[in-house]
Chains A and B, each alone.
Chain A
Amino acid sequence: MRSEPVVRIRGLVKRYGSKTAVDGLDLDIAQGEVTAVLGPNGAGKTTTVEICEGYRRADAGTVRVLGLDPVADAPRLRSRVGVMLQSGGVYSGARAEEMLRHMAKLHAHPLDVDELIERLGLESCGRTAYRRLSGGQQQRLALAMAVVGRPELVFLDEPTAGLDPQARRATWELVRELRADGVSTILTTHFMDEAEQLADDVAILDAGKVIARGTPEELCRGGAENTLRFTGRPGLDVNSLLKALPDGTEAAEPTPGTYRIAGRVDPLLLATVTSWCAQHGVMPEGISVERHTLEDVFLELTGKELRR
């Protein structure tokens, strides 16, 4: 049995002046899962999340968070939802530990602050004023502030932007523990590996709409073309190879002696390539089939040109 979605969005529209940031977006987010919201800059990720957090009002459509209206029912929602802003949110003169302790005091059953500080490796920052913390330390403090009240649902807006690999891993580990303990997490990110590592469910946004949806595996499998590579004698007749392959397949020799075949790489195609090699007396070395990453899928769906 699937429980009610923690977030339910129908026909959401948000405009800023003449610009439409969110354009009829529908999205259900399942309870207890980690959902990654991806999209190029300006796709409407932060606007959507901020509407769910009650910071902005929708121009049209309905949004329900834990079954409640994020604006009208804000007083009842605020203790149940943890929020990590993209930046800021802390008094510039406050020390990390003191700020976290203060947030804990606003909740009825907060986490143990000392353990949380240790968990996120913030012990050394306890006495340091917020404005003197590194970007990564500020991020981790914001994350700690989002979870200290033991919420049912947390919104993490680019939680690992600017983190070093160790801090990134600590953050990922914490998100996994949240999931294991039944907390629902919605995170926006620009890191595709982060979504692949963490997310049970991915929603790709572009131009204010959801353009793809599924588990990372589903998204990588569906639609995207894979690549077969091998090395051999330089100067093989690529056109002859291409004739043996199904229509729509590409074959090229990007650097002398390395061959790249792009298309729907299935067992039949692999057999065709190796038998062509056998006919031409070529030993295909280092043969590999590359599975497409979420990043490939993302770029395929949203285009490679720079967004403004």
Chain B
Amino acid sequence: MSAGTYTPKPGAAPLGRMIAAQTAFETRMLLRNGEQLLLTVVIPSLILVLFSTVDIIDTGAGEPVDFLAPGVLALAVMSTAFTGQAIATGFERRYGVLKRLGASPLPRWALMSAKTLSVLVTELIQIALLTAIALSLGWSPKGDPFSVLLLLALGTAAFSGLGLLMAGTLRAEATLAAANLVFLLLLVGGGVMVPLEKFPDGVESALALLPISALSEGLREVLSEGAALPWRELGILAVWAVLGLGAAGRFFRWE
């Protein structure tokens, strides 16, 4: 390199460009990760195809796909916003990525915005794919798209808060184990593929308060029954979002 190559000429890139670059980078990292894809794409697709076509679980009256599709959309949101984000961020913290980026021109709030955008981009891909599969299996969604978007947005906020809380407070290995365990438990007990009515009454009302249940039941009310805004479920998700994001903001440790 010639003389003067390193002559200082510092400066941050424009904020919009930094956030766009960080979003693209985070999304690429996420889509490259095989284990993440298993959780975010493969498992939801398999559940949708398998249980819609093979009569293994009793999804109640009506077409199985009409019951399963909203649940699997909720699962997709949880897998990306919660499980995937918690694991990825936990390891970024462990490997000093968050620390190093903290010394870059990218402000912390912009990093968190980029993470959220990256989650949304991934969800968009998941939802497009799962919707296509569900439609090909004969799904006939009803309802108001605005209610669906609102549910997805609040669900994403709730799961992101919980995922970041876990990533920012636990060791990376503990986050990995816990995030996967929670994914499995909520997959079974969160109204994704097993209707909540199948559980005993007391258990059912407790499970209904979980964010995954609120999201899957809320989506089901809108998409399968054509209900208007499901206030109860939106309320539950909003409470989780406030608690999760608030606690993450308070307790998140960058190193």
Contacts and interface: CB of A to CB of B under 8 A. Distances in A.
A25 to B, nearest CB: 21
A80 interface: yes
Given A106-B18, A107-B105, A92 B91 contact: yes
Contact of A106 (B1, B5, B12, B28): B12
Contacts of B13: 105-108
A308 B103 CA distance: 29
Contact of A78 (B1, B14, B33, B103): B103
Nearest to B6: A181
Interface string A173-194: 0000110111100000000000
A161 interface: no
Contacts of B12: 78-79, 106-108
Contact of B103 (A53, A90, A98, A109): A53
Contacts of B102: 54-55
Interface residues of B, number: 36
Interface string A65-102: 00000000001001111010101111111100010001
Contacts of A81: 103
A91 B8 contact: no
Interface string B99-137: 110111111000000000000000000000000000000
Interface string B71-112: 000000000000000000001100111011011111100000
A92 B95 contact: yes
A81 B12 CA distance: 11
Nearest to A81: B103
A201 interface: no
Contacts of A102: 21-22, 25
A90 B100 contact: yes
A90 B105 contact: no
A115 to B, nearest CB: 6
A108 to B, nearest CB: 3
Nearest to A89: B100
Interface stretch (A143-151, A164-172, A248-256, A291-299): A143-151
Contacts of A127: none
B3 A80 contact: no
Contacts of B9: 108-109, 150
B100 A83 contact: yes
Contacts of A87: 96
B200 interface: no
A111 interface: yes
A153 to B, nearest CB: 8
A147 B10 contact: no
A106 B100 contact: no
Given A88-B100, A92-B91, A150-B10, A106 B106 contact: yes
A23 interface: no
Interface core residue of B5, B14, B33, B102 (most chain A CB under 10 Å) = B5
A149 B105 contact: yes
Given A78-B103, A85-B99, A111 B17 contact: no
A18 B171 CA distance: 25
Interface core residue of B100, B102, B255 (most chain A CB under 10 Å) = B100
Contacts of B21: 102, 105-106
Given A91-B92, A93-B29, A102-B25, A55 B99 contact: yes
A33 interface: no
A103 interface: yes
Interface of A: 53-55, 75, 78-81, 83, 85, 87-94, 98, 102-103, 105-109, 111, 115, 119, 145, 147, 149-152, 177-178, 180-183
Q: When A and B form their complex, which 4 residue pairs have the shortest distance between CB atoms, in order from nearest?
A: A88-B96, A108-B11, A89-B100, A181-B6
14 contacts: A78-B12, A79-B12, A88-B95, A89-B95, A93-B32, A102-B21, A107-B10, A111-B5, A115-B5, A150-B6, A177-B1, A180-B3, A181-B3, A183-B8
